[in-house]
């Protein structure tokens, strides 16, 4: 017990000290964890800690991360990604494998060993790349989505790689004791022939899909009846661990299995609860994983083969970056996003350690080669945060140089910033410009900006959620920030930062739906517009007109509905809990039912009065043509 507590304390104190310092210096949390692992490496050696065993445990953080990524993807979105998934991801894995195999053969390795090396090093680090892109708010960008497609294909490709590698076994390596690396482990497919293994594997995948679709709702509903948050957390962990175990028993990637489960549950009402329960464990385990990578670097071997190791690492990074540059350009990426894809995925990944261990156990790669490759993988992962820093400070900075210069020039005259120039932001920009205002518009879609330039519309390329970009755009002196981004989480992130950092700034935010309004309200925003609300009310008014109602009366019916709806939202707001899905909040449900009953009766009376009103007259209790205002409350929700 004491040994476990001491080990936990060493890892925790290293992370708690190193990560804030690295973040403060602009190095990012991943590099902080890696540095922490390097710092405690001598102490772990002194204590006789098996870093590899700890690393295998910490790899479960990658499994949890892919489960959370899956929760953000609906099946239809995944289907829409199929071109990039197969083309971009498949092209990267195939070309990188052949190129790295060629280098290995040029260095004197047989083709079987060279192929195993190529497969191992072709994979990138899902943990580092997704963590870094999330921290920088770039996962939803063009480069972020392309990177995710490549990483997802790589995770899927691990399965056929695990099937192929044993076929590359060398008899002379097996005779030298390759069997000693084998360890007995539980398996549902051991001793089965090909079609039986395929049947069991298909049954396991079907169990995940069917169970996620039909069983999770009644199970979690039953657990929710206990009203114990820790029980729901335990159930969430049980789900992820159980799926990972099932995938391991049939020889599949646990990460791929949990990703599939996440996609199945993407439309579940329990999605947000699962995210909030799993995310803390994911973060801690990923941090532990990064520290084990740093601690696992063999500095003795590194000193003995310093030039060779640095040369192999540089060759790995160059080959994969060049491959990604060529493929990314073929799929339409240009400029900074293309470089972000190439530099971000140039490293080898955590699955490389898995394939190396598997290759060693199956007498495919000699132990000396495996040790050298482990060092190259670890060193490439250690250099990845530095590549992201290079991208931020050189490539992205150079791409946005004109933007930062313009922003400095408009600080005194342009007091409006629009984040997002899509369907919503575009209309707002046109209205403000027509009235003589000159807003600063920021959008992160390079394709969108290229199309706008053809029509003479100017907007700046960049991620509007980045504090440095907002500062360059003059947010400290701005009067109004209009948040018209598409993604709900990006909207929340920007609104929280802007209101907390610039309390005097007026923030006008786009809400994706009714529940999103409450989240923005909790973040401190008091000027919120639901994106489809006004157009829906107008369509309702047009429906009345199509049914024969005079336009003037249809207009007043629409305004009566608008006033009632906003009053109803305020009436139920205090019953909404942003930490609980609305359909699982009995207090909120009852309040909605109560207010809806009163609301329908009152609205029906107002509409009846409007319809019975003689033409040219108005009833004394009709809704005013102007939207209602609150003299003692400047907040607006529409």
pLDDT tens for 73-125 read 666 766 777 788 888 999 999 999 999 999 999 999 999 999 999 999 999 98
Give the HSE-up count for residue 156: Cα atoms under 13 Å, Cβ half-sphere.
14
- The CA distance from 540 to 198, in Å, is 54
pLDDT confidence of residue 133: 84
- The CA distance from 208 to 562, in Å, is 44
Chain centroid to CA 323: 24
Contact 606, 560 (CB under 8 A): yes
CA angle 357, 358, 363 (to 5 degrees): 100
Residue 135 has pLDDT above 80, yes or no: no
E-strand stretches of 460-599: 460-461, 480-483, 506-511, 527-530
Residue 622 has pLDDT above 70, yes or no: no
pLDDT confidence of residue 345: 93
pLDDT tens for 48-66 read 888 878 877 777 877 787 7
Confidence bin at 231 (pLDDT 50/70/90): confident
Confidence bin at 638 (pLDDT 50/70/90): low
Q: What residues does 416 pair with on adjacent strands?
A: 480
What integer is the mean pLDDT of 37-57?
Answer: 84
Confidence bin at 311 (pLDDT 50/70/90): very high
- The CA distance from 552 to 539, in Å, is 15
What integer is the mean pLDDT of 567-576?
Answer: 82
In the 3-class helix/strand/coil scheme, how is 453-492 assigned residue by residue?
HHCCCCCEECCCCCHHHHHHCCCCCCCEEEECCCCHHHHH
Between 583 and 484, name the one with better pLDDT: 484
Confidence bin at 624 (pLDDT 50/70/90): very low
pLDDT confidence of residue 637: 62
**Mean pLDDT, all residues of the chain:** 80
* 635 token code pair: 């907040």
Q: Which CATH number fits domain 408-531: 1.10.357.10, 3.40.50.300, 3.90.1150.10, 3.40.50.720?
A: 3.40.50.720
What integer is the mean pLDDT of 506-531?
Answer: 88
pLDDT tens for 183-198 read 446 778 777 777 788 8
pLDDT confidence of residue 32: 82
Q: What is the dihedral of CA 481, 482, 488, 493, to 10 degrees?
A: -10
Task: Specify the CATH number of the domain 2-399.
Answer: 1.20.1530.20
- The CA distance from 260 to 38, in Å, is 34
Contact 478, 505 (CB under 8 A): yes
- The CA distance from 114 to 124, in Å, is 18
pLDDT confidence of residue 179: 44
Domain span(s) for CATH 1.20.1530.20 in the chain: 2-399
* 39 token code pair: 């710092």
Lowest mean pLDDT segment, chosen from 22-26, 188-192, 401-405, 595-599:
401-405
Give me the percent of the chain exceeding a pLDDT of 70: 87
What integer is the mean pLDDT of 441-465?
Answer: 72
What integer is the mean pLDDT of 158-183?
Answer: 67
What integer is the mean pLDDT of 533-539?
Answer: 88
Q: Residue 38 contacts by C-beta under 8 Å, 6 or more apart in sequence? A: 294, 295, 297
Burial of 112 (0-12, 13-18, 19+ CB in 10 A): middle
**pTM of full prediction above 0.75:** no
Domain span(s) for CATH 3.40.50.720 in the chain: 408-531
Most confident of 191-200, 233-242, 305-314, 378-387: 305-314
Q: Residue 459 contacts by C-beta under 8 Å, 6 or more apart in sequence? A: 421, 429, 441, 442, 443, 449, 452
């Amino acid at each position: 017990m004491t040994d476990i507590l001491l080990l936990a304390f060493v890892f925790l104190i290293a992370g708690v000290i190193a990560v804030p310092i690295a973040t403060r210096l602009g190095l990012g949390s991943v590099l902080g964890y890696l540095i922490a692992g390097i710092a405690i490496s001598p102490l772990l050696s002194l204590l006789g800690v098996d870093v590899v065993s700890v690393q295998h445990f910490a790899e479960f953080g990658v499994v949890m991360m892919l489960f959370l990524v899956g929760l953000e993807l609906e099946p239809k979105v995944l289907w829409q990604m199929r071109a990039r998934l197969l083309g971009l991801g498949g092209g990267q894995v195939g070309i990188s494998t052949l190129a790295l195999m060629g280098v290995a053969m040029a260095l004197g390795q047989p083709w079987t060993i060279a192929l195993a090396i190529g497969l191992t090093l072709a994979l990138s680090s899902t943990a580092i790349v997704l963590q870094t892109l999330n921290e920088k708010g770039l996962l939803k960008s063009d480069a972020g989505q392309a990177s995710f497609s490549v990483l997802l294909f790589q995770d899927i490709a691990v399965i056929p790689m695990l099937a192929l590698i044993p076929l590359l076994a060398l008899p002379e390596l097996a005779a030298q004791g390759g069997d000693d690396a084998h360890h007995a482990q539980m398996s549902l497919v051991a001793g089965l022939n090909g079609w039986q293994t395929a049947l069991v594997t298909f049954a396991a995948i079907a169990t995940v899909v069917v169970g996620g679709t039909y069983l999770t709702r009644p199970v979690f509903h039953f657990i929710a009846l206990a009203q114990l948050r820790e029980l729901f957390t335990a159930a969430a962990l049980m789900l992820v661990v159980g799926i990972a175990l099932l995938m391991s028993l049939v020889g599949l990637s646990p990460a791929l299995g949990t990703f599939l489960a996440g996609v199945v549950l993407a439309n579940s009402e329990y999605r947000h609860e699962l995210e909030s329960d799993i995310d803390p464990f994911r973060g801690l385990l990923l941090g532990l994983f990064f520290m084990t990578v740093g601690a696992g670097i063999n500095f003795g071997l590194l000193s003995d083969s310093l030039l060779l190791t640095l040369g192999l690492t540089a060759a790995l990074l160059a080959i994969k970056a060049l491959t990604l540059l060529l493929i990314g350009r073929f799929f339409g990426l240009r400029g900074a996003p293309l470089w972000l894809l190439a530099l971000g995925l140039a490293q080898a990944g955590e699955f490389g350690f898995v394939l190396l261990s598997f290759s060693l156990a199956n007498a495919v790669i000699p132990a000396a080669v495996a040790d050298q490759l482990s060092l190259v993988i670890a060193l490439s992962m250690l250099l990845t945060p530095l590549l992201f820093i290079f991208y931020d400070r050189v490539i992205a900075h150079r791409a946005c140089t004109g933007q930062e210069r313009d922003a400095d020039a408009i600080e005194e005259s342009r007091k409006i910033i629009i984040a997002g120039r899509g369907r919503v932001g575009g209309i707002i920009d046109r209205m403000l410009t027509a009235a003589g205002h000159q807003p600063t518009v920021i959008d992160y879609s390079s394709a969108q900006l290229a199309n706008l330039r053809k029509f003479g519309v100017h907007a700046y390329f960049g991620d509007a959620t980045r504090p440095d970009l907002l500062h360059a755009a003059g947010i400290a002196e701005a009067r109004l920030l209009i948040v018209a981004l598409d993604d709900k989480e990006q909207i929340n992130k920007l609104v929280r930062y802007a209101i907390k950092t610039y309390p005097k700034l007026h923030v006008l935010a786009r809400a994706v739906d009714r529940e999103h309004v409450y989240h923005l309200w909790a973040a401190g925003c008091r000027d919120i517009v639901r994106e489809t609300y006004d157009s829906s009310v107008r369509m309702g008014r047009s429906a009345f007109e199509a049914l024969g109602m005079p336009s003037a009366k249809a207009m007043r019916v629409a305004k009566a509905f608008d006033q009632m709806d906003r009053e109803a939202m305020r009436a139920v707001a205090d019953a909404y809990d942003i930490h609980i899905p609305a359909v699982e909040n009995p207090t909120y449900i009852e309040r909605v039912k109560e207010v809806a009953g009163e609301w329908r009766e009152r609205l029906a009376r107002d509409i009846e009065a409007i319809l019975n009103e003689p033409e040219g007259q108005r009833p004394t209790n009709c809704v005013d043509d102007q939207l209602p205002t609150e003299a003692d409350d400047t907040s607006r929700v529409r």
